[in-house]
Amino acid sequence: MKRDLLSRLRLGGWYYLLGALLLLLGVPFYQLLVLNPLNYTAILSNPGGNHFALYLAWISNYTLQYMLYRVLLLAAFALLLTLPFNLFRIIVAQEIVDQQERADEEEEEGEAEEDEEEQMDSDGMPPYAWRGKGFAVIAAWAGLAGVVAYILGAGVGTLYILVVSKSTPLPGNFTTLYNIFSLTSNTLGIGLLALSTLFFGALIARRGRNLWPTPWIFFGYMALATAALLSGSAVAVAGSPGEQATLTTPAFLLFGLWILWLGILLVRLKPEK
């Protein structure tokens, strides 16, 4: 693995560690220590017909606390923007190494290595490395689209709620727009992330010990479990856009653990000797 690619992956690993810590510790502890004493959870779970009115009134009274909460959540996902394609590069690089090791003739293998040295692209990968890696390509683009959709949906939705919370009466289309933003982030975004983690996990688990070290195999199987929870959460939100799904919290926690694992694996990468 090229040193410039290795350095990039290590740097990404630190980003993912920070993002995972925000999801696992920052957001939950902020909600527990700051928001819950202000009755945030009680307001959020209020089943009455005036749910939105109470929710917006609470936000109007505690705007700063709400903004910080949303910033923490958005920052956690923003740190993951490079994750899908970095994971794609790792899978492709591992496949290339495996192909080289199985080369029949040493002379052909040496020529392939020379060509690789001469034809590296700006990412430190051979040109057209994506060929024959259809599921990995889908996983990478789905993951990137999922992160972007979540950030856009949650970010624009937060700004909209902050503006509406200061105005009375509520706009007639408030519920519709609120549901659109919720579906964009929690159904489209999380659904695409579920698809991405499913494909990445399947690609790693499929080759197993023939290609991957044991920590990466566990990482692959953990991706499959994460995909199951994320997809369940996305479907649940699609059924009730205005409410938080029961699976959302465990799905985010498992997703955070999966990212944490990846971050640890990346920062511990070492150049080949």
**Per-residue pLDDT, 44:** 78
Of the pLDDT bands very low, low, confident and very high (cuts 50, 70, 90), residue 54 is confident
**Per-residue pLDDT, 196:** 96
Residue 176 has a CB neighbour count (10 Å cut-off) of 11
**Per-residue pLDDT, 118:** 44
Of the pLDDT bands very low, low, confident and very high (cuts 50, 70, 90), residue 35 is very high
**Per-residue pLDDT, 94:** 84
**Per-residue pLDDT, 101:** 67
* Residue closest to 59 by CA, chosen among 43, 37, 75: 43
Which token pair is 54?
């109470």
User: Where is pLDDT greater, at 159 or 167?
Assistant: 159
As a dihedral over the C-alpha atoms of residue 203, residue 207, residue 131, residue 114, rounded to 10 degrees, the angle is 140
Of the pLDDT bands very low, low, confident and very high (cuts 50, 70, 90), residue 43 is confident
Residue 20, C-beta contacts closer than 8 angstroms, at least 6 positions apart = 76, 256, 257, 259, 260, 263
User: Where is pLDDT greater, at 206 or 146?
Assistant: 146
Q: What is the mean pLDDT of the chain?
A: 85
- How far apart CA 229 and CA 235 sit, in angstroms, is 10
Mean pLDDT for the stretch of residues 5-30: 94
- Bin 208: left if φ > 0, else alpha if -120 < ψ < 50, else beta: left
CB of 207 within 8 A of CB of 218? no
- How far apart CA 162 and CA 174 sit, in angstroms, is 12
User: Where is pLDDT greater, at 166 or 244?
Assistant: 166
Mean pLDDT for the stretch of residues 10-20: 95
pLDDT for residue 157 is more than 90: yes
- How far apart CA 114 and CA 116 sit, in angstroms, is 5
Of the pLDDT bands very low, low, confident and very high (cuts 50, 70, 90), residue 105 is very low
**Per-residue pLDDT, 104:** 47
pLDDT for residue 119 is more than 70: no
Mean pLDDT for the stretch of residues 198-219: 90
**Per-residue pLDDT, 110:** 55
pLDDT for residue 234 is more than 80: yes
pLDDT for residue 83 is more than 80: yes
How are the residues of the chain apportioned to helix, strand and coil, as percentages rounded to the nearest 5? Answer: 80, 0, 20
- How far apart CA 92 and CA 72 sit, in angstroms, is 32
The pTM (predicted TM-score) of the whole model is 0.85
Percent of the chain scoring above 70 in pLDDT: 83
**Per-residue pLDDT, 103:** 62
Mean pLDDT for the stretch of residues 6-11: 89
